Structure 1
Amino acid sequence: MYHTWMRYFTPSPVHHRLGLVCLGVGLQHGTLPPVGPRVLDHHVAVVVHAGRGWSATPDGTRTPVTAPALLWLLPGVPHHYGADPHTGWDESFVDFTGPATSTYTELGYIEPDRPLVPLADTAAARTAIGRITRAARRGNPLLEVETAAAVHELLVALRRARADTDADGDPVLQALARDAFLPLSVAEHAARHGMTPAALRTAVRRGAGCSPKDYLLAIRLGHAKELLAATELPVAAVARRVGYTDPAYFSRLFTRRVGTAPVRFRARQGHHVPGGWSTRVPDPDDPPRIG
């Protein structure tokens, strides 16, 4: 016995320009019949919340699937999978497409070389899929935009839920973020963590979808913007605070990446903050209030 619920959508050409659109969603559990072999023209994320089953490669080799897990069904790639015929499984699936899938693949959120991804848990993914199912009510005028936004949320949730990433994220990325403002080269960062530059590049590319240089630069420039907007520190002092000993180089780099010079950015964004600029992240369940 098995139970299934699903909805399918046909977003308009205008909605496709959002970059990512949802084509369908389903919730199923029990001893589901096998799927495939078949080929689709879009992406599907199949999230196995509980139970076990199998997934077959194009040559017929079967790999066990044990929840929590993610199955990537990629456009143009044959797939064949199913729940254990005796125990079944609890599954959700989301069909989606759009040009943003290429960017998510480049960033490592979608992994063509890893169609089966073990997960630590599926709670956040279930929440994102829940948003799609609630938006799927008949006659919802915001259907396409709500479901598109939830697909973005789902991709982030699945990336964070990978079993090879702990609750606080990739340890290598944590260490780089901690040391981001030290005036070190990528090779020196790698040496501090007992890695070769090539190994560090591989780890950061897999964890953040970019090079170590770009990862460090994003952290440095983000903090530089905060200092320019919230303090009266000279640009040279801001440069030193974020790891650059040459203020002229910092200014050129800032201008090239941000699109405006540090002084001009400050003139546009800067303002005095009575009582000082807080570095504490607000609790979203208890945000600061007036009175």
Structure 2
Amino acid sequence: MYHTWMRYFTPGPVHHRLGLVCLGVGLQHGELPAVGPRTLDHHVAVVISAGTGWLRTPDGRTRTVTAPALLWLAPGTPHHYGAAPGTGWDESFVDFTGPATGAYTELGYIEPHRPLVPLTDTAGARAAVHRIVRAARRGNPHLEVETSAAVHELLVALHGARADTAPGTDPVLAALARDAFLPLSVTQHAARHGMTPTELRTAVRRGAGCSPKDYLLHIRLGRAKELLAATELPVAAVARRVGYDDPAYFSRLFARRVGTAPVRFRQRQGRAVPGGWSDRIPDPEHPPVIGPRPSA
């Protein structure tokens, strides 16, 4: 015996411009029949939350699937899988496509060459799937937009639940984030961790989907924007606080990556901060809590 529920959608051209669109969603459990061999023209994320089964990869190998796990079904790649006889498994799946799949693949959120991914848990992924399920009610005029947003959320949840890069278990990324504002080169960062630059690049690419230089730059520029918007620190002081001894180089880099000079960014953003200017440096780890105003 097995139980199954599924819906399929046909988003229009405008919806595809959202980056990702949902083509289908399903919830199944029990002794499900095997799927394939088959080849699809879009991506499918199959989330196994309980039970065991098997996956046959294009090289002819049969791999055991033990929940919690993710099956990546990539377009153009043959796949064949099924739940274990006698026990079955609990499965949810989401079919999706769109131009943003290329960027998500480059960043490591979609792994077409890694068809079986162990997970730490499936709670976040299942929450995203259930958002799609709720949006799939008949007559929902916002179905395509709501399901598109949930597919983005699903990819983020699955990336965070990977057993090899679960939150709190990647000391390299945590250490880089901690030391991001030190005036160190990538080679110097690698040496601090007892790694070669190549080893550091591999670790950061696996964990964050980008190079160490870009990872550090994202953190530095984000912090620089906060300081420019919420304090009166001179641009040279901002540059030093985020790791750049040469304020001219910092300004050129900021303008190239942000699209505007630091001074111009401050003029556009700073005065919108509630409460006006402040000489207090904002702490991203402890944001203010905005609650209801006290009654008069």
User: What 5-or-longer segments of structure 2 have no aligned partner?
Assistant: none
1:122 aligns with 2:122: yes
- What TM-score do the two structures reach when normalised by structure 1? 0.96
Q: CA deviation at 1:281?
A: 3.8
* TM-score computed with the length of structure 2 as normaliser: 0.94
Within the alignment, does 1:212 sit opposite 2:201 as a pair?
no
SS of match in other structure, 1:237: helix
Deviation at 1:210, TM superposition (A): 1.0
Residue identity matched to 1:217: L
Alignment: residue pair count: 289
Deviation at 1:112, TM superposition (A): 1.8
Identity %, equivalent residues: 79
Give the corresponding residue for 2:291.
288
Separation in structure 1 between the aligned mates of residue 57 and residue 226 of structure 2, nearest angstrom: 49
How far is 1:50 from its partner?
Answer: 0.2
Q: 1:1-80 maps to which residues of 2 (within 5 A)?
A: 1-80=1-80
Alpha-carbon distance between aligned partners in 2 of 1:222 and 1:233, rounded to the nearest angstrom: 15
Q: Structure 1 residues 81, 167: CA separation in 2 closer, same or farther (over 3 Å shift)? A: same
Structural RMSD (CA): 1.5
**Could you report, residue by residue, the CA deviation over 1:212-260 in whole angstroms, capped at 9, with x for unpaired residues?**
1111011111111111111111111111100111111111111111111
Structure 2 Cα separation of the partners of residues 86 and 282 of structure 1 = 51
Deviations 1:42-81 (A, max 9, x none): 0000000000000001243210000000000011100000
Q: Which amino acid aligns with 2:291?
A: P
Deviation at 1:289, TM superposition (A): 3.4
Unpaired runs of 5+ residues, structure 1, are none
The one-letter amino acid paired with 1:17 is R
1: CA distance between counterparts of 2:194 and 2:38? 45
Tell me if the contact between 2:180 and 2:219 (Cα under 8 Å) persists in the aligned partners.
yes
Q: Distance in 2 between matches of 1:24 and 1:102?
A: 20
Q: CA deviation at 1:120?
A: 0.2
Do the aligned partners of 2:5 and 2:27 also contact (CA within 8 Å) in 1?
yes
Q: Which residue of 2 aligns with 1:197?
A: 197
Match of 1:135 in 2: 135
Contact 1:35–1:80, Cα closer than 8 Å, also in 2: yes
- Rate the CA distance shift 1:241–1:32 in 2: closer, same or farther, 3 A: same
Q: Which shifted more, 38-47 or 159-168?
A: 159-168
Query: SS of the residue aligned with 1:270?
Result: helix
Matched residues in 2 for 1:120 and 1:28: separation? Answer: 20
